[in-house]
């Protein structure tokens, strides 16, 4: 996905983020359900990605098709998504799949004390991929078009008996609706989303000179307070900063030379 579609997906993910704090797997199931509707209706995909239609027109179309069939929250997510611009009809489905998987991942994050929940989900998805990769018979069975989705899902879940609800939902989706991919490959793409989410819990900090233990502790405390979560803080030395502090967390980079957000943290380190 590139160009205008990438921008629309980025906007949709930003709009989704505030909803994630109280999200449940029910929201993800609703979104995966809407994805099934989109995948089965080429005319609908074309209508929702028609550049001649306004965002308002597309929101009305979404309401007509799925209002009352999914939760109000899911309806809002799909409305936001439909209001974007898409380079191809396929892209809006791919974007919805990403949003639904992101909800599942956020639920695992919240239910497992943040980073620990993500690590468990990562381990469970990786275990599925590893098991399938080692057995060509399983690969064929999970992709067998003549087998019912229910039987394929039942087989898949037997491979990860200790998997939690979040992992089971992602594996179920990948096996029942692989959308042109091998099930293990789709689980692999979900795994990439988990890894990206994990980066929100890691702070890469560059400072101009080595920190004392007291300064290090103040740095960790200040960052945890700033971001509202217990981060893993990695500190490296970069003399070119000339007294500044640069913090990178996920896609966000804050440089004290241009951002006042770190001014209080700088004062704490100096003290």
Contact of 16 with 77, CB cutoff 8 Å: yes
Comparison of pLDDT for 259 and 64, the residue scoring more: 64
pTM for the whole structure: 0.84
Calculate the average pLDDT of the chain: 90
Q: In what order do the strands lie in the sheet with 232-237?
A: 232-237, 202-207, 245-249, 252-255
* Spatial CA neighbour of 83 closest among 67, 95, 101, 97: 95
Domains (ranges, CATH) in the chain? 4-198 (no CATH), 200-270 (3.40.30)
Query: What's the rounded mean pLDDT across residues 149-163?
Result: 96
Comparison of pLDDT for 34 and 257, the residue scoring more: 34
Tokens of 49: 């990605």
pLDDT reported for residue 259: 46
d(CA 27, CA 74): 6
Please spell the DSSP secondary structure of 86-152, one letter per residue: -SSHHHHHHHHHHHHHHHHHHHHHHHTTTHHHHHHHHHHHHHHHHHHHT-HHHHHHHT-TTS-HHHH
Residues 6+ apart with CB under 8 A from 114: 201, 229, 230
Q: Which residue has the tokens 């300064």?
A: 215
Residue 142 to residues 64, 154, 172, Cα–Cα distance (Å): 35, 10, 11
Tokens of 148: 């019912």
pLDDT confidence band for 240 (50 / 70 / 90): confident
Per-residue pLDDT of 50-97, as tens digits, reads 999 998 899 999 999 899 999 999 999 999 999 999 999 999 999 999
- Per-residue pLDDT at 260 exceeds 80: no
Tokens of 15: 């709009």
- Per-residue pLDDT at 176 exceeds 70: yes
d(CA 237, CA 240): 9
User: Inter-axis angle of helices 89-111 and 72-82, to 10 degrees?
Assistant: 140
Per-residue pLDDT of 185-230, as tens digits, reads 999 999 999 999 998 888 889 988 888 899 899 989 988 888 888 8
């Amino acid at each position: 996905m590139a160009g205008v579609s990438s921008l629309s997906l980025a906007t949709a993910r930003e709009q989704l983020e505030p909803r994630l704090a109280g999200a449940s797997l029910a929201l993800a199931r609703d979104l995966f359900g809407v994805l099934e509707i989109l995948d089965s209706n080429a005319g609908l995909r074309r209508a929702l990605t028609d550049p001649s239609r306004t965002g308002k027109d597309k929101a009305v179309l979404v309401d007509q098709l799925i209002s009352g069939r999914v939760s109000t929250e899911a309806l809002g997510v799909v409305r936001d998504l439909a209001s974007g611009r898409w380079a191809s009809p396929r892209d809006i489905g791919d974007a919805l799949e990403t949003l639904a998987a992101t909800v599942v991942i956020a639920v695992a994050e919240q239910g497992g004390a943040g980073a620990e929940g993500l690590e468990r989900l990562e381990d469970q998805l990786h275990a599925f991929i590893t098991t399938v990769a080692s057995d060509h018979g399983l690969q064929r069975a999970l992709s067998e078009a003549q087998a019912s989705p229910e039987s394929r899902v039942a087989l898949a879940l037997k491979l990860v008996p200790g998997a939690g609800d979040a992992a089971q939902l992602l594996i179920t989706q990948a096996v029942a609706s692989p959308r042109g991919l091998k099930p293990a490959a789709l689980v692999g793409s979900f795994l990439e989303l988990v890894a990206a989410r994990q980066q929100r819990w890691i702070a890469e900090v560059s400072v101009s000179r080595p920190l004392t233990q007291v300064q290090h502790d103040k740095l960790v405390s200040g960052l945890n307070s700033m971001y509202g979560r217990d981060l893993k803080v990695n500190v490296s030395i970069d003399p070119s900063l000339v007294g500044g502090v640069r913090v990178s967390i996920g896609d966000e980079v804050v440089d004290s030379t241009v951002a006042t957000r770190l001014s209080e943290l700088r004062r704490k380190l100096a003290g």
